[in-house]
Chains A and B, each alone.
Chain A
Amino acid sequence: MQLKPDPAQLRRKLIAASCALLSTSAARSQETSDPGLVARVLKEWQFESALAYYHENGRIQAIEPVVNANHDYADGGNVSLNFTFDSLSGSSPNGALPSHAPQTFASPSAKSFASARHPYTTQPGNLPVDPSYSTARAAGGGDWTLPLTRLSRITLGGKVSIEDDFYSGTVSASIAHDFNDKNTTVSFGINDESDLIQPIGSTPVPLSNYAAFAKEGNKSKNGVGALLGVTQVMTRNWLTQLNVSVDRFTGYLNDPYKIVSVLDGGGNTTGYIYENRPDSRTRKSVFVDNRVGGARASVDLSIRYMSDSWGVRSETVQVHTRWWMPARQQYVEPTVRWYHQGAANFFTPWLPGSDQATTRYVSADPRLATFHALTYGLKYGYELGGKLHRSSSEFTVRVEYYQQTLQIDKSIPVGLQGLDLYPGLKAVLVQFGFSY
């Protein structure tokens, strides 16, 4: 056994190692001496992108590309920008009930049945849907986080969203402070949203007869909200979060395209009126999230309770798990979500004609009904590691199935018996993601 190294061999190895280091440094120096703008952005920013495809059973389909860009500054500050584009098309329920007789409607832009460019007739037994529904949305926003002290920071944000018939702008501000060796973070934020609603064919007069085509001008609504959050590191494997939030919207809160069937005593449809909701709504919520992680798996359990001044009460429970493959380059994430809500106190699937004169608020929008919904999801992630010169880059595929089951407990009049009045909703979401 040779214990003393050969000096000549050692010298050769040192020279070789020095040359290797120098050549690497020289190559890096050459790369970074004059990087172009694109190269600098790619180097200094993190990007996250996704393309989502959403499809409902026989109704809406949507395509949604999303891009997030994020940059961390050396002083702890951060800038993030996001862009979203939605394209929706298909058939949208108009709020009317199925009937044993054919029902004829006009598209929202119509001034009368006679002049309607896109009238549509719903066959007996089918749910009335507007078959020519189509819209697009472009949205962009950003957040700027500035450190105030070593333990405090503020975040200022803004967001704009533009659709054919809806314009929205939101500003937000929040402050966060760390305690206990950065194991406890308390944050408080406020936001203000202003919306302008310009319905296709103008805004229908609430509670007016659908066949009268009574319209009025554009509408607006405003919302303010506040959120108080506490995040606590419990152990090396356990993080818990508690959020309490409240928001209040005022102004035009109707869906301008939703109508309500008016029935006679026998359950036969005699006409339709436009819905009307209260012009203010206050919502309160409590959200609790617990994350527990191990070497190759983690579980995220979140619970939310929400109530509002319209009488809606909802509970949401979501379980999210991640399982790493043995090589830790790939993972799968099964997800289950259960949601239940109670109806708004002015929701009704139809309006008896005898109540029409005295009704102040009414909506047959199933989103305000009592229902429960289940989501099953599975995500697969492949971490590209050093393949793209960045350890955080990854490719993901996600599939979700969403099913909504209405639970409307109302006795069915003779004229509606035998019809599937509340068909519910089934939808599939497929999403491809890439981050760099």
Chain B
Amino acid sequence: MKVLHILSLMTLGSAALAGCSSLGVKPWQRDILSRSDMRPDGAGLDDAIDEHLYFSKEASSGGRSFGGGGCGCN
């Protein structure tokens, strides 16, 4: 339950921050953000292979995008 509370607080915090238009950068300040290691989809194949491994060995999957599936391994 403690973890759930922490996650709930983080969720509310992120949502509140996302609604704040004063955050962010100008287009010419995106040099670091445009790198593959800073993009949510930047590690495409690594994430896909890991997700497949965890989907076949654990009861939970997904969350990052549409979860697992398409495999009879679990």
Contacts and interface: CB of A to CB of B under 8 A. Distances in A.
Interface string B1-26: 00110010011001101100101111
Contact of B14 (A240, A293, A316, A398): A240
Given A161-B71, A379-B46, A232 B23 contact: yes
Contact of A305 (B3, B21, B43, B66): B3
B63 to A, nearest CB: 4
Contacts of B74: 255, 367
Nearest to B12: A242
Given A159-B70, A298-B37, A181 B23 contact: no
A227 interface: yes
Interface residues of chain A: helix, strand, loop or mixed (majority): strand
B59 A312 contact: yes
A2 to B, nearest CB: 40
A163 B69 CA distance: 13
Greatest chain B CB density within 10 A among A245, A379, A404 is at: A245
Given A225-B66, A236-B29, A344-B59, A293 B35 contact: yes
Interface stretch (A15-23, A25-33, A123-131, A165-173): A165-173
A111 interface: no
Interface in B10-67: 10-11, 14-15, 17-18, 21, 23-27, 29-33, 35, 37-38, 40, 43-46, 48-50, 52-54, 57-60, 62-67
A288 interface: yes
Interface stretch (A47-55, A112-120, A262-270, A413-421): A47-55
B37 A341 contact: no
B38 A291 contact: yes
What is the size category of the interface that chain B forms with chain A? Answer: 35 or more
Interface in A294-336: 294-295, 298, 300, 302-306, 308, 310, 312, 314-316, 320, 322, 333
B21 to A, nearest CB: 5
B7 A183 contact: no
Contacts of A333: 37
B58 A341 contact: yes
B60 A433 contact: no
Given A223-B69, A429-B53, A235 B25 contact: yes
Contact of A234 (B23, B43, B52): B23
A81 B3 CA distance: 37
A303 B7 contact: yes
B60 A312 contact: yes
Contact of B18 (A184, A244, A367, A379): A184
Contacts of A400: 50
A227 B11 contact: no
Contacts of B64: 243, 287, 289, 302, 304
Contacts of B14: 230, 232, 240, 242, 288
A137 interface: yes
Interface string A155-195: 00001110101101010100000011111100001010101
B25 to A, nearest CB: 5
B71 to A, nearest CB: 6
Contacts of A180: 21, 23-24
A283 interface: yes
A56 B59 CA distance: 18
15 contacts: A181-B24, A181-B27, A184-B21, A232-B18, A255-B74, A283-B60, A288-B14, A293-B32, A298-B37, A305-B7, A308-B59, A312-B60, A315-B3, A339-B58, A341-B58
Given A181-B24, A298-B35, 20 more contacts: A48-B45, A66-B45, A84-B48, A168-B70, A172-B66, A227-B65, A227-B66, A235-B23, A236-B25, A239-B40, A240-B17, A285-B63, A294-B32, A302-B64, A303-B7, A341-B59, A367-B57, A367-B59, A373-B57, A425-B57
